[in-house]
Chain A
Amino acid sequence: MPRGRTSIDIQRIGAYVTIAVALVITLFPVYWIAANSFKYDIDIFSIPPQWLPSNPTLKHYHAAFIERPFLIYALNSLIIAASTTLVSVVFGSMAGYALARFQYPGRWRYQISFWILSTRMMPPIVTIIPLYIAFNYLGMLNTKPAVIIAYTAFNLPFATWMMKSYFQDLPVELEEAAMVDGDTRWGAFLHVALPLARPGLAATAIFCLIISWNEFLLALVLTLTERSQTLPIGIAGRVTQYSTYWGEISAAGFTACIPIMIFAFIVQKHLVRGISFGAVKG
């Protein structure tokens, strides 16, 4: 009895404090760029810091999106991230399903799975020169398809593995029932397995989207102009030889967070279910 209440209270307070600290650490940068994006340059550096813009302005938004081509960067980012996600999820589901369900001689299921995963093991920087040479040879440098292909190469193994584990958690009898009921294997996949793997699809999609939306290194090397440059590259471009345009960087950076946040809100329900899907069966 004496142990009961107080120790539970302490535990609860401890949990809330931990969450609060984590939230401050993760959300402070977002808050800070949001606040800075509405300040005049002089206020950004004022000491003591201005927690909220005393004299709010849309000047930096105007500079970034009207005077400079950030709208085009954003569009490029959107096209590239969406295409990468679509291709990765479509082919990742099919490959994951094949690995989860089909019979392979000997240990080939493991070998193939491991081989797919192993492509993620080297640091991306290692592949940059070969990729650059390959795309140069194909005349694809500074094009969106080149970036999409490169991103897909990095996202597909990940999508395949994620979808494989979701399909493995689905009871196989459901697809067997569909096949005995008159469906083909493809039909069983399309009508039964895929709809049931929706949480997995949502989780895989959001991970692919975040990774390709935020990617910097490959885009930096493979793109040159606003024809194919993405938001992270555009933002980095405002750190120039003579000056760093913090206001524009904040305005563009804060805007770049918004689509991901919207998407995360939409798929949030699926995402939580998706992540815990394997752990709590049935």
Chain B
Amino acid sequence: MTSVTFQGVVKKFGEFIAVNDLNLEVRDKEFLVLLGPSGCGKTTTMRMVAGLEEVSAGDIFIGGDRVNDVLPKYRDVAMVFQSYALYPHFSVADNIGYPLKIRKVPEEKRRQMVMEVARRVELDRLLDRLPKELSGGQRQRVALARAIIRTPKVFLMDEPLSNLDAKLRVQMRAELKHLQHELQVTTIYVTHDQIEAMTLAHRVAVMSRGVIEQLGTPKEIYNNPRTLFVAGFIGSPPMNLIDGEVSDGAFTSAGGIKIGGLGHSNVADAVLGVRPEDAHLLPGGSGKANVTAPIYSVELTGESTLVTVRAGDSLFTLRADKSFVGDFDQMVNVSFAPERVFLFDRKSQNRVDF
């Protein structure tokens, strides 16, 4: 039973506040992803759990024990670094077996465990090599093997997939998810890649400027973003965010986008959020269009076509059927699914419910 709890955790580097009053509970056996752009404090948060950064204020608990002043070696966490941090002067076997060697596990037992773990991550033929003789994907596996060899209380993963090429990344993502499910170890995973976050996490904590903007399951984060930041950060391509104003439940943008039925809200500085898949092209001459605008570009991605239109001086993208064919500057009618649009207040950055 290992949960990780943050209570009012603050981390300052001089005057700069990297993490500000963080309150979060990572549940037992949970796969929690800290998601955010670079510099948002997510890696710092993880490093505080590992004991590599001191906590400026607040408390961190691992499995109920306050660990603020506990040395990394006594925290029983394992970490996979972004750079893998393999010991360049050790062979693969020695790298994987290092945590056991430090714990004085007898050599025979150690060799057996290294072999076992190596087989699991398909490294058993490379045990005598040095890290520099391995490919990126193999190095990544060594780092992973070194982390799982001793079944720690918590796994910490700092962008472990970001140095891999796209194909390998997708493959390792699935392996990681499966591995965590098998091992049932509480995991904190840091990434700036929202697809990784969506696919891996039980829950995602979206961070920005040292605070958690929203915490929830990937589904909640995607379908119910609470702030403008979360709305813009999650989704690929991202949600269209259109500036305009709302009076008595009707949104109007400078580019001529109009949509009604937003309750009775009035927001002077409003932002309309529409996901690309929630905007649809209407057959010509339909009166129900929310906007009629020229096509800016058409991109076929394979399973669908991304159509970007220009309404006034703002662009927005929608996902059309893969069979769609259109020309530059061709006028199209676009309608939004009214129950699937979001409204935000530019000033407070928060969602406006209607």
Contacts and interface: CB of A to CB of B under 8 A. Distances in A.
Interface in A162-196: 171, 173-174, 176-184, 187, 192, 195-196
B89 A176 contact: no
Contacts of A183: 73, 102
Q: Considering residues A171, A174, A181, which has the most beta carbons from chain B within 10 angstroms of its beta carbon?
A: A181
A192 B94 CA distance: 12
Given A195-B89, A196-B88, A179 B83 contact: no
A180 B50 contact: yes
Nearest to B152: A180
B85 A173 contact: yes
Contacts of A195: 89
Contacts of B89: 195-196
Interface in B82-100: 83, 85, 87-89, 98-99
B85 A174 contact: yes
Contacts of B203: none
A180 B87 contact: no
Contact of A179 (B73, B88, B156): B73
A192 B87 contact: yes
Given A182-B99, A183-B102, A187-B102, A177 B85 contact: yes
A196 B146 CA distance: 20
A181 B79 CA distance: 8
Q: How large is the interface on A (under 10, 10 to 19, 20 to 34, 35 or more residues)?
A: 10 to 19
Interface string B50-75: 11100000000000000000011101
Contact of B87 (A174, A179, A182, A184): A174
B72 A179 contact: yes
Contacts of A179: 51-52, 71-73
Contacts of B77: 180
B81 A173 contact: yes
A183 B50 CA distance: 13
A183 B73 CA distance: 6
A174 B79 CA distance: 12
B52 A176 contact: yes
Contacts of A178: 87, 98, 102
Contacts of B72: 176, 179-180
A177 B79 contact: yes
Contacts of A174: 85, 87-88
B78 interface: yes
A173 B102 contact: no
11 contacts: A173-B81, A176-B52, A176-B81, A177-B81, A177-B85, A178-B87, A178-B98, A178-B102, A179-B71, A179-B73, A196-B89
Given A174-B85, A179-B71, A180-B52, 7 more contacts: A171-B85, A176-B81, A180-B50, A180-B78, A180-B79, A182-B102, A196-B89
Q: Which 5 A-B pairs have the closest CB atoms?
A: A177-B85, A173-B85, A182-B102, A181-B99, A179-B72
